[in-house]
Chains A and B, each alone.
Chain A
Amino acid sequence: ETGVTQTPRHLVMGMTNKKSLKCEQHLGHNAMYWYKQSAKKPLELMFVYSLEERVENNSVPSRFSPECPNSSHLFLHLHTLQPEDSALYLCASSQGDRVPDTQYFGPGTRLTVL
């Protein structure tokens, strides 16, 4: 596979469930991102990792927990979510050391919290 992939593509979970979203990039990039895309709102940056180190946590509730075990993989662990967390979650990656540092996006995971 090429580019940025995300699994699963669709996820339905209850408020008491624990689940994880996975992102993998095949571009040799050093930076990875999680965004939340809700209807009629701009994309919201959630987390940024550069060389596997978290460099940004954009005031995201603790029920979202990111993990970046290496520069190719990024996870978003979910627990005790709320219905308002239902959204499309996008992963992106970038080289990390170029100007401008263009971000490349995955297809997203459509999350529904019941």
Chain B
Amino acid sequence: AQTVTQSQPEMSVQEAETVTLSCTYDTSENNYYLFWYKQPPSRQMILVIRQEAYKQQNATENRFSVNFQKAAKSFSLKISDSQLGDTAMYFCAFMNPPGGGSNYKLTFGKGTLLTVNP
């Protein structure tokens, strides 16, 4: 079974600085998908960024980028120019490759609570 590990339960960063959240996973599959979701306090969980394992290029969405190291099974999230609104719980998630009726399953890590300080 796939597992997702987020080793940092809590992190903090000063506004405008850069922070990196770590995520590792375990799988025997070669093709899969990885996601970072953000859950602000008392608010909806939203997708931040996603990465297809077959793509070598790291995904980027504005201030958010990932460092995808397939051999190391690592998928870290870098937030540049941190803003107060980035304060949230961040979840790393893994999705099985399609086929066999299992492409809908997301396996989540326990999350990292990020606090951006003014």
Instruction: List residues of chain A with CB under 8 Å of any chain B CB.
Output: 3, 31, 33, 40-43, 45, 48, 50, 55-56, 90, 94, 96, 99-108
Contact = CB atoms under 8 A, between A and B. Distances in A.
Interface stretch (B14-22, B65-73, B79-87, B102-110): B102-110
B101 A100 contact: no
Given A55-B101, A105-B46, A106-B44, A100 B33 contact: yes
Nearest to A90: B45
B91 interface: yes
Contact of A43 (B43, B44, B108): B108
Interface string B43-71: 11111001010000000000000000000
Contacts of A3: 44
Nearest to A96: B104
B90 interface: no
Contacts of B103: 99-101
A100 B93 CA distance: 12
A45 B44 contact: no
Given A40-B110, A105-B45, 16 more contacts: A3-B44, A41-B110, A42-B91, A42-B110, A42-B111, A45-B106, A48-B104, A56-B105, A90-B45, A100-B103, A101-B104, A103-B47, A105-B44, A106-B44, A107-B43, A108-B44
